[in-house]
Chains A and B, each alone.
Chain A
């Protein structure tokens, strides 16, 4: 009997698995933040653009404008941080990832075309927002729709790779790369959970925007604080049900590990729920607080910690599913310490340089260059 999971390369793993895993988690966490703002922000932005057409909803029109201006940078950050996560994913799980990508081949490749379309649409919006007129509304919805499709394709690949035996059967039936994993019980709740989470994070970002703008534009600042809190809380509350649906849709053996079979996983799940609820709750408290900045800060901190716990839960689902499918990690390690050290040093330099450049730009005023 030939194993369904591809045989690993006859090459040593170039780093300890824990290091690769930690970098996967770190880079994915960094990717998820702008990705949530793109996914959730594009939906909120499109709605705000529709609602902001009425004269008495100037704040929503302004919010739509802010989102439009931020979108190219957010997409860029999403892609830039996402490639690193995908790289480390492929080192650790390439054997099932590549097989799954082939089964949904055309859909997977379509991500590239869709990304280019949505990225150019975002730049067009940012550069020509006022002159676009009605087509601006169309573009706003196009961006939201395309980003939604991209995230759905990703969810398909990430769920399909957890079922190696299913992959073989699917490939035998159709190897043209036109399939999706839509009939997977866990796919829709998982995707819904992600989308609602993205909307909640974007709601928090709007609250943060409100705090930052309160002095310059008190009316908009207060409105954004309240509006963001509403979105964050509402999306989080609905997301509790989506999360429960996702849990219920997990294979029984995987679910049991979260129900006491694996105490660490259960703890991470519970911590994730508590932290996100705490985070959302503090956005509401911020609306009436004397020092809303502190409340929003607590909210951001707890929500980010909650996201980290959720990512650990997501990672546990992957590990449990693959473990049950017979996936065994590579047990031949020959770390490339020289290149690893260079990477770490350059990463620190890169982070420092990016922070320095960004602060320099933020500190400079428009028209500051008089030479």
Chain B
């Protein structure tokens, strides 16, 4: 809102594609350097000329992959996040400019060392050459040490939201497990890449030696170490307040429960993309492990590029899936306890450093907190929202106005994640739903609760976010009228007739109003569970309304007044029913 939203469908996918390809190479840049120097050492100590020759050729592949694609795609992530989420990027830069500057010093030495190492094969003494190699290894890993602090901060910001301190942000709750996990991944990937590059060798004996060594000493130990470190990571994240179990759709945070949820079908709560990504991680990593054992035990002399390529693809899927899960664990935040994915910020919590008076006088109070946007509205806060043409302001043309303003609101608030028909498509979700039902869903997308689940506010940290069906959505922010206009636009996207769309008007039927706003999204004709009244009496409905979560855990508890409960029961009883009473309720 403070910045323009890049009008690209599923722009977040751009980050995902570039980032996943980058991490697959950049972790190799860390582990591969380590592998290369140890390989050189082994070859030199053993006087093993073929192995030394392989190390030289591997270093060329290494340079071409890591210095070109690895380095430039890393810059590419930076470019992309700046385009897709300028507000978050700006905050990250402000907080971590010195972190990045420190990382840059390692990056400079890393790049220079890699080049000197490559160009120095036939020029430098063995001792000096390996010393340069170790400099490369150290600086490449130290780059990871720094970037890891920034990445983990986004999920678990530690005490930073209250102190705004650099080190509080950097050494956050998931810093150490993530660093260990990423280091293990880098080591494992080095072995995987070695198997891949060895598959091009014609010397079967050398290929077998390299492949067996890479499999038994590099890949397979990490196949044990990485899952253990990830369990530590997930545990640390959960301890820091990340609702890991809720996102995966598990009953609790236990490992068995999480695994069961990942392999269950039809989980209706949690975040489906995270669940699917976790499934792919486990399946790909398991297949990778089994195939590596097979290769090392039985096929080390004869395996070819197809099998090695398959291992690489499985590695990419496992790694990409892991990063995807990590990103999804962060939802609905882009920076935990500070900024949501739609760039809305939390109001400054009590005790956090506040801007001085001179700053507020120059720039005004923060216009982009949830509370500020709720009060002023999106359309009056953001200069990037296209103004409403005069001809659409006539009350008679409500549908056209909803189409225009709702579209703008969708772009400002939703388009950073959702598309209309593509990735995380909105149309199937709103198909056939009326504006009242959608308005009800928007109103309850997310709300602040405390650790016990009781209603709270956005300024009391840590904020726990209660989201609609645990879908990890950010809150809607804007005026009531804007919410209704967005609901109207979504209804049009879902197929509602423009002629049927009008400004919300108070209804005399309290039960219908409550039903439309709170129940129709799921129980409407095109909902997840269309309601069949089955001829029940009002008293039966009245009783059921009082125990909704017991009937189905997906249903939230009734939160209305006694008058609304009675009216809703009457309204439901008056709806037509088809099936006989009994069966699942």
Contacts and interface: CB of A to CB of B under 8 A. Distances in A.
Taking chain A's interface residues, is the majority helix, strand, or loop, or is none over half, making it mixed?
helix
Interface stretch (B97-105, B297-305, B325-333, B519-527): B97-105
Contact of B135 (A8, A339, A353, A364): A353
B309 interface: no
A12 B6 contact: no
A361 B123 contact: yes
A311 to B, nearest CB: 20
Interface in B94-121: 94-95, 97-102, 104-109, 111-113, 115-116, 119-121
Interface stretch (A36-44, A47-55, A110-118, A293-301): A110-118
B90 A105 contact: no
A115 B74 CA distance: 12
Contacts of B79: 101, 108-109, 111-112
Interface stretch (A57-65, A169-177, A186-194): A169-177
Contacts of B381: 2
Nearest to B129: A369
Nearest to B90: A94
B68 A119 contact: yes
B125 A369 contact: yes
Contact of A343 (B105, B382, B386): B105
A105 B72 contact: no
Given A357-B113, A358-B116, A7 B73 contact: no
Contacts of B166: 14, 336, 338-339
A240 interface: no
B104 A15 contact: no
Interface string A1-25: 0111011111111110000100100
Contacts of A94: 86, 89-90, 93-94
B467 interface: no
Contacts of A88: 97
A120 interface: yes
Contacts of A14: 94-95, 97-98, 166
A95 B82 CA distance: 11
Interface stretch (B233-241, B311-319, B357-365, B566-574): B357-365
Given A15-B98, A339-B166, A116 B112 contact: no
A79 B101 contact: no
B367 interface: yes
B147 interface: no
A91 interface: yes
Contacts of A328: 362-363
Contacts of B115: 73, 76
B122 A367 contact: yes
B413 to A, nearest CB: 15
B97 A368 contact: no
A146 interface: no
Taking chain B's interface residues, is the majority helix, strand, or loop, or is none over half, making it mixed?
helix
Given A99-B86, A102-B3, A368 B363 contact: no
Given A98-B89, A361-B124, A11 B113 contact: no
Nearest to B136: A357
Interface string B67-86: 11101110110111011001
Given A95-B90, A358-B116, A11 B125 contact: no
Contact of B83 (A10, A23, A102): A102
B356 interface: yes
B348 interface: yes
B112 A358 contact: yes
A219 interface: no
Given A175-B4, A368-B122, A8 B97 contact: no
A369 B93 CA distance: 44
A103 interface: yes
B83 A177 contact: yes
Interface residues of A, number: 81
Contact of B122 (A119, A343, A366): A366
A83 B80 CA distance: 14
B451 interface: no
A10 to B, nearest CB: 5
Nearest to A119: B68
A86 B22 CA distance: 20
A182 B470 CA distance: 47
Interface residues of B, number: 84
B94 A11 contact: yes
Contact of A346 (B80, B94, B102): B102
A112 B2 contact: no
A135 interface: no
A177 B75 contact: no
A227 B400 CA distance: 68
A369 B126 contact: yes
B380 interface: yes
Interface string A330-371: 111010101110110011011001100110110011111101
Interface string A152-172: 000000000000000110011
Given A358-B112, A369-B129, A10 B366 contact: yes
B69 A116 contact: yes
Contacts of B348: 10
A331 B129 contact: no
A288 interface: no
A105 B84 CA distance: 9
A328 B64 CA distance: 44
A103 B4 contact: yes
B355 interface: yes
A332 B126 CA distance: 53
B231 interface: no
Contacts of A105: 6, 8, 83
Contacts of A6: 2-3
A91 B366 contact: no
Contact of A361 (B44, B82, B87, B120): B120
Given A4-B383, A98-B3, A101-B83, A112 B8 contact: no
B128 interface: yes
Contact of B105 (A109, A331, A349): A349
The residue in B6, B7, B18, B67 that gathers the most chain A C-beta atoms within 10 A of its C-beta is B6
A332 B355 contact: yes
B353 interface: yes
B423 interface: no
Interface in A64-93: 73, 76, 79-81, 83-84, 86-88, 90-91
B99 A331 contact: no
B436 to A, nearest CB: 30
B71 to A, nearest CB: 7
A347 B167 CA distance: 20
B384 interface: yes
B82 A98 contact: yes
A123 interface: yes
B27 to A, nearest CB: 19
A331 B94 contact: no
A339 B86 CA distance: 24
Contacts of A15: 97-98
Nearest to A76: B111
A274 to B, nearest CB: 33
Nearest to B86: A98
10 contacts: A9-B90, A76-B111, A79-B72, A109-B79, A120-B64, A336-B166, A339-B101, A357-B112, A361-B123, A369-B126
The 9 closest A-B CB pairs, nearest first, are A339-B98, A98-B86, A175-B7, A112-B76, A364-B123, A350-B105, A346-B105, A332-B359, A2-B383
Given A98-B82, A99-B4, A108-B83, 5 more contacts: A2-B380, A3-B383, A102-B5, A115-B72, A342-B102
